[in-house]
Amino acid sequence: MKAQLDRDGYAVIRGAVPIELVVCVKQQLARRIAGKPIELAEHDGAVIAAFQQDRRCHHRRFDELGPSAFDLIFCGVFYEAAQEALRADLTLNPTQHVRAKLPTALYETATGKPDPDVVPWHQDAFASDGHPSVFNMLTFWVPLAPVSQANGTLGVYLGSHRKGSLFHRAHGLSVNEAKAIWIDARPGDFVVFHKHLVHGSGLNSTSGIRWSLDFRVQSAGADCGRKDASSIPFVMLARGDRVRRSEVFGQWLAQQNEIGTYA
């Protein structure tokens, strides 16, 4: 994995994440959006029905999801990958999202605005306060249902991390879209990428929801690159450490509440 990350700036790891944990995060997100428990087969329909009521896109923070997202992060798979790549004590970076990305046409027709879940081309090193940060950081991107170019999956530029920091603001970098690689993936897979990898996401041209989760891991003690959240005070844990997980989840929630809502 590390060799591929160094060479290409990203790696897709197949079938590594326990499916039951993935399903649980999706179920909690669907429930949160719909305001009531929803059968698996009804998740997409429930999110679309909620949008038809409130006209909101459903791109949320982890802490709104509660422990299911933490169970996924702490399952050990990500810790091992991050250890292999960064070889350091690790903490979570505060930038993280669970996304139920609506069909782009539905959003744009209903609101008359561009779909905010089509994410412009950027590097995560700039995702925080608009300046390149010096910390060591990796992003993990985890599909919660099958993803492809059709439903607006993650797109990446092979080897773009080797260009270092490319200054940009929220509207993103100009790139030749024909050279983007669109990641096909299924629940159980994950993508890990370098903080300088140029990436974004496309239009969801299907009539269903594109479900995913993304979070970042960095060296402990380093600046997290956000002025509103200077440090996250715990080390990411290895496989099986569930008692401690619930302890740190409480601390994390308290801290998130102090930080407030992310853009």
Ligand X SMILES: O=C(O)CCC(=O)C(=O)O
Site string (147-186) toward ligand X, x via CB under 6 A: -------x--------------------------------
Choosing from 212, 218, 219, 256, the residue that interacts with ligand X (CB under 6 A) is: 212
Q: Which is nearer to ligand X, 174 or 243 (CB)?
A: 174
Residues 200, 121 contacting (CB under 8 angstroms):
yes
Only segment of 22-30, 164-172, 196-204, 228-236 that touches ligand X (CB under 6 A): 196-204
CB of 184 to ligand X, least distance (A): 14
Q: Per rule CB under 6 A, is residue 104 in the interface with ligand X?
A: no
For ligand X, the binding residues in 131-150 under the rule CB under 6 A are 139, 141
Structure tokens at 109: 């027709």
Give the whole-angstrom CA distance, residue 28 versus residue 22. Answer: 10
Q: Which is nearer to ligand X, 99 or 161 (CB)?
A: 99
Residue 227 buriedness (CB in 10 A; 0-12 / 13-18 / 19+): exposed
Nearest to 218 by CA among 17, 78, 97: 78
Q: Who's near 20: CB < 8 A, 6+ residues apart?
A: none
For residue 96, the 8-state DSSP code is E
Residues within the interface to ligand X (CB under 6 A) = 99, 119, 124, 139, 141, 154, 199-201, 212, 214
